[in-house]
A and B are shown apart, each in its own frame.
Chain A
């Protein structure tokens, strides 16, 4: 235990320069001696550099957080946001708009010839091609996304290939695909038109009543 721990509360007040009520004689002597020793010790301490304040403050400024970190801290700290209720609705509408135009999964290919679909009817159409030497024949057109093999035709004993497809009412463009590579127009179609690639597409216009037999 050091000496000041044995002091009374009034002795502490005396050392601190505060008002006190009563001290014993011994306490006065001890306190005065401690004060004298403290002063003597303080006088032996080296003098502080007058520029110490500036040095310390410069060090503090160097350690100031970067602006970016400050910005991040601003966002992370809890804030009170004041907003008019009407803006909640406006923001919700804007968010709905953004979500509505956001990329979506690709839509299945729409047939080219789907331009004409005034009636929701579907008509069964039979395609035929006489090609005795062919190994495979299929129909590719606007109604099946020009997929080779999507509508495969069956061969009978005479070499007549045929297939039946349910087509929406409207105009359709197509060709026969022989042996997977050879594109052949249908000579019985309503019309043959330029396909834009130097070839000819066959055209049929399917009405709700079906096709006309010649």
Chain B
């Protein structure tokens, strides 16, 4: 019986490190499969493992390294960017926890980190997360707020729009629609302030209670789900 107990305890003691090692090996193999040199892949996997041990999702870090490698960024700069992103996600995790989600998912943390990278402050992230009726709404809310802020509305205005939409129980589809609407209004020549007012006043096609009233009025027409990214094409002038 002593031998069996020893085997059992040993198996359980090996389980946690084995899990971490398996995860590391998975990320490292994935990075190498994408062409990253073994040394760089190893270093990124180590950063990811350290982040994972602190409750920070590791896959976004691997993705960032892949992005950098695809863009032919030098390895030291990739490592620097991955470390910085890990740090941003750590701060984002703290902000989300402070908003009341004790164990935030990697999805929410990554969305919060991207939002903070786009210029949103921790208190703005907390505002969006607190306004979310459910944890799974927080991530899209943060992404939309970040996109609106990056469109020039300003962080406070972007958060105000998203929080208003959430409190008015707008649908997920309506929430995800906001960056398109803001972009369309911008293309029509409206200023960021006007865009904010028109969306908050229901000019996005919803009434003042936030309910969508249809694709009429001031709201630009929607492209059907089988749709076109139908802004004027980007014009690129460059010389080879």
Residues of A within 8 A of B (CB): 82-84, 87, 90-91, 94-95, 97-98, 101-104, 106-107, 109-112, 115-119, 121, 123-131, 133-134, 140, 142, 145-148, 160, 162, 164, 169-171, 176, 178-179, 181-184, 186-188, 190-199, 203-214
Given contacts A109-B66, A204-B179, 7 further A-B contacts (CB under 8 A): A103-B22, A104-B22, A104-B26, A119-B172, A171-B140, A198-B77, A205-B144
Shortest Cβ gap from B229 to chain A (Å): 5
Q: Tell me if B191 is interfacial: C-beta within 8 Å of chain A.
A: no
Tell whether, in the assembled complex, residue A142 and residue B63 are in contact, meaning their CB atoms are under 8 Å apart: yes
Partner of A211, one of B30, B33, B228: B228
Smallest CB-CB separation from A134: which chain B residue? B236
Q: CA separation between A83 and B7, bound complex, in Å?
A: 13
- Give the interface residue-count category, chain B: 35 or more
Q: Tell me if B110 is interfacial: C-beta within 8 Å of chain A.
A: yes
Q: What are the nearest 3 A-B pairs in CB distance?
A: A210-B227, A191-B150, A207-B176
Q: Which residues of A contact B71 (CB under 8 A)?
A: 146, 183, 195, 197, 199
Interface core residue of A90, A125, A160, A212 (most chain B CB under 10 Å): A212
Q: Which residues of A contact B15 (CB under 8 A)?
A: 94, 97-98, 101
Q: Tell me if B133 is interfacial: C-beta within 8 Å of chain A.
A: no
Q: Tell me if B14 is interfacial: C-beta within 8 Å of chain A.
A: yes
Tell whether, in the assembled complex, residue B8 and residue A170 are in contact, meaning their CB atoms are under 8 Å apart: no
Tell whether, in the assembled complex, residue A188 and residue B64 are in contact, meaning their CB atoms are under 8 Å apart: no
How many cross-chain pairs have Cβ atoms below 8 Å apart between A and B?
257
Tell whether, in the assembled complex, residue A133 and residue B63 are in contact, meaning their CB atoms are under 8 Å apart: no
Tell whether, in the assembled complex, residue A212 and residue B143 are in contact, meaning their CB atoms are under 8 Å apart: no
Q: CA separation between A41 and B146, bound complex, in Å?
A: 114
Tell whether, in the assembled complex, residue B4 and residue A87 are in contact, meaning their CB atoms are under 8 Å apart: yes
Q: CA separation between A103 and B71, bound complex, in Å?
A: 30
Q: CA separation between A199 and B150, bound complex, in Å?
A: 15
With A118-B140, A146-B70, A212-B220 given, is the CB distance from A95 to B147 under 8 Å? no
Tell whether, in the assembled complex, residue A182 and residue B238 are in contact, meaning their CB atoms are under 8 Å apart: yes
Tell whether, in the assembled complex, residue B234 and residue A124 are in contact, meaning their CB atoms are under 8 Å apart: no
Q: Tell me if B18 is interfacial: C-beta within 8 Å of chain A.
A: yes
Q: CA separation between A213 and B68, bound complex, in Å?
A: 32
Shortest Cβ gap from B117 to chain A (Å): 6
What are 6 sample pairs from A and B whose C-beta atoms fall under 8 A apart? A97-B15, A106-B33, A110-B63, A182-B238, A207-B173, A214-B231
Shortest Cβ gap from A160 to chain B (Å): 6
Q: CA separation between A211 and B220, bound complex, in Å?
A: 10
Q: Tell me if B196 is interfacial: C-beta within 8 Å of chain A.
A: no
Q: Which residues of B contact A91 (CB under 8 A)?
A: 4, 7-8
Smallest CB-CB separation from B223: which chain A residue? A210
Interface core residue of B30, B71, B110 (most chain A CB under 10 Å): B71
Q: Which residues of A contact B144 (CB under 8 A)?
A: 205
Q: Tell me if B123 is interfacial: C-beta within 8 Å of chain A.
A: no
Q: Which residues of A contact B4 (CB under 8 A)?
A: 83, 87, 91
Q: Tell me if B67 is interfacial: C-beta within 8 Å of chain A.
A: yes
